[in-house]
Amino acid sequence: MQDVRTRVSVWLRAHAEEMVEDLRSFARIRSVCREDLKADKAPYGPECRRMLDFALNRAREMGFETEDHDGYCGSAVLGDGENAIAIIGHLDVVPEGDQWIYPPYAATRAGDFLIGRGVSDNKSAVAMGLYLMRMFRELEIPLRHGLRVVMGCAEETGMTDIRHFAKSAPRPVLSLIPDSMFPANYAQKGSLQGMFDISLGEDIVEFGGGEVFNMVPPRATALLKGVPLSNLPGLEVSEESGLTRVVARGVASHAARPADGVSAIHKLSAALLESGALSEASARAMAAVKALSGDIYGEAAGIASEDPDTGRTTMVVGLARTENGLLSFSVDSRLSLNGDGERDTAALHRFARGLGLSPRDFRATRPVYMPKDDPRVEALQRAYFDATGDPAGPYTTGGNTYARELENAVTFGISFPGEQPRPDGLPEAHGGAHAPDEYLHIPSLIRAAEIYAHAILTLDPSLGKEGT
């Protein structure tokens, strides 16, 4: 095994620059999921279709068989695709937003870093998976199972892509999800998502903010009619065609970690409400938005819960839009293991109706839980420790990954715990997966690929048809 591991390390380091260049070519393509622009074989719009075509073509150039799962996602396969270990990443990205220092789709190389939307979340996982398959093939390392790299296109907007895959493609013996942190993730919170509607009243012509459900919104804007506002501290106020434009700026963060961000939607709704200048109906709308967008642990809404594994339930209002005087905004709640989707949906609806809101399109998903002593978790932990010497135990997260939609799935890497290298000069709020100037540390990606190779070598002999 030691000789094989040495060969793996030498190969990956020899091909590191090729992997980085392929990742850069992926990250130069904007691939925001847009179901409102769907077409035949393009259920998530033209950007994701273009991205999927590009990635599948690259896989074919590398000599792999490919499968297009009706545009929902794609696969590249090495060996027995009916009896495979899968590496499942996603090619879709959250919108870039603003406040970037670097161009979001240039995949800028800055020393040991790549900077651009998608370089970390999660196109690096797809590039890594393709190079791992190439490595196993070129080194002629025998495996009992095939390998499959699955490339999703709607992870950031509800995971309907991987649900389609689960229903229509061969079920992997084990799915590894490189969309979080090392070592193995044994539990994830459940989720509760939906929309609320309310009339904006006569004073507010438009209210909007954010880009996706699962991000603390970094910008929000309102357009007011006949409301005398000139000084709102911390907000931008300007005149626009006889109306008043108000803009609030916050700090983006993932919906699983709302305390790390500052919600621009909350800032804007609170400032407009507290100005005292709104009529009754408009003030009621802003009070409702303020109440929910500021309730990041669900305490006022009656859905607060906590457990020793996953911590506290969280809640984010990530997206707000106006159409014909009706404000619609999203709620994304991550429920602790002690939460209950049905119970918490009912409690949230009761609270919201008391604020004058109408709920719609709600969906709750189950939590993910695999015991820490499960042989698959233990094998991944062993592979991580052998490669790094780090005794870190398996962990939990409030983030949602494809693991919640698949059987026999474990989220494993590919970022590392603890303080990690970051590009010089980036503001503190920049660099994260959903933040401006998202970045990837290239040596860490190569190290992650080595860990994944060791994990596959550890798991392959022991896995049966059902992943046990």
Q: Which of 343, 365, 387 delimits the end of a domain?
A: 365
Confidence check: pLDDT of 158 > 90: no
Q: Are residues 154 and 55 in the same domain?
A: yes
Q: pLDDT digits over 426-466, tens only?
A: 998 899 998 999 999 999 999 999 999 999 999 999 887 54
Q: Is residue 466 part of a domain?
A: no
Mean pLDDT on 320-334: 96
Distance CA 344, CA 360 (A): 15
Confidence check: pLDDT of 229 > 90: no
Q: Which of 313, 347, 365 delimits the end of a domain?
A: 365
Mean pLDDT on 417-425: 93
Q: pLDDT digits over 80-112, tens only?
A: 999 999 999 999 999 998 899 999 999 999 999
Mean pLDDT on 352-364: 97
Helix axes of 123-138 and 442-459: crossing angle, nearest 10 degrees: 60
Q: pLDDT digits over 171-217, tens only?
A: 999 999 999 999 999 999 999 999 999 999 999 999 999 988 889 99
Q: Which of 346, 365, 384 delimits the end of a domain?
A: 365
pLDDT band at 49 (very low <50, low <70, confident <90, very high): very high
Distance CA 64, CA 409 (A): 23
Give the domain extent around 338: 191-365
Q: Are residues 378 and 356 in the same domain?
A: no
Q: Is residue 464 part of a domain?
A: no
- Percent with pLDDT over 70 in the chain: 99
Strands 326-335 and 368-369 turn out to be unpaired
Q: Are residues 220 and 359 in the same domain?
A: yes
Q: Which residues pair with 185 in a beta bridge?
A: 395, 411
Q: Are residues 406 and 451 in the same domain?
A: yes
Q: Is residue 224 part of a domain?
A: yes
Q: Lowest-pLDDT range, 226-230, 235-239, 418-422? A: 226-230
Q: pLDDT digits over 250-286, tens only?
A: 999 988 899 999 999 999 999 999 999 999 999 999 9
Q: pLDDT digits over 245-259, tens only?
A: 999 999 999 888 999
Q: What is the CATH number of the domain that holds 346?
A: 3.30.70.360
Q: Is residue 467 part of a domain?
A: no
Q: Are residues 323 and 340 in the same domain?
A: yes
Q: Are residues 141 and 236 in the same domain?
A: no
Q: Is residue 349 part of a domain?
A: yes
User: How many domains, the chain?
Assistant: 2
Confidence (pLDDT) at 211: 86
Q: What is the CATH number of the domain that holds 59?
A: 3.40.630.10
Q: Are residues 166 and 230 in the same domain?
A: no
Confidence (pLDDT) at 153: 98
Confidence (pLDDT) at 133: 98
Q: pLDDT digits over 54-86, tens only?
A: 999 999 999 999 999 999 999 999 999 999 999
Q: Are residues 425 and 329 in the same domain?
A: no
pTM of the model: 0.80
Q: Are residues 277 and 322 in the same domain?
A: yes
Q: Is residue 7 part of a domain?
A: yes
Q: Are residues 339 and 372 in the same domain?
A: no
Query: Phi, psi (5° rounding) for residue 410?
Result: -135, 130
The pair of three-digit structure tokens given for residue 439, joined into one six-digit string: 């970045």
Q: Is residue 377 part of a domain?
A: yes
Q: Are residues 155 and 230 in the same domain?
A: no
- Residues 6 or more apart whose CB falls under 8 angstroms from that of 60 comprise 66
Confidence check: pLDDT of 227 > 90: no
The pair of three-digit structure tokens given for residue 60, joined into one six-digit string: 């074919």
pLDDT band at 1 (very low <50, low <70, confident <90, very high): low
Q: Is residue 109 part of a domain?
A: yes
Q: pLDDT digits over 119-153, tens only?
A: 999 999 999 999 999 999 999 999 999 999 999 99
Q: Are residues 114 and 146 in the same domain?
A: yes
Q: Is residue 288 within 8 Å of 356, Cβ to Cβ?
A: yes
Q: Is residue 313 within 8 Å of 339, Cβ to Cβ?
A: yes
Confidence (pLDDT) at 375: 95
Mean pLDDT on 396-405: 90
Confidence (pLDDT) at 400: 84
Mean pLDDT on 300-318: 95
Confidence check: pLDDT of 419 > 90: no
Confidence check: pLDDT of 295 > 60: yes
Distance CA 302, CA 317 (A): 16
Confidence (pLDDT) at 212: 86
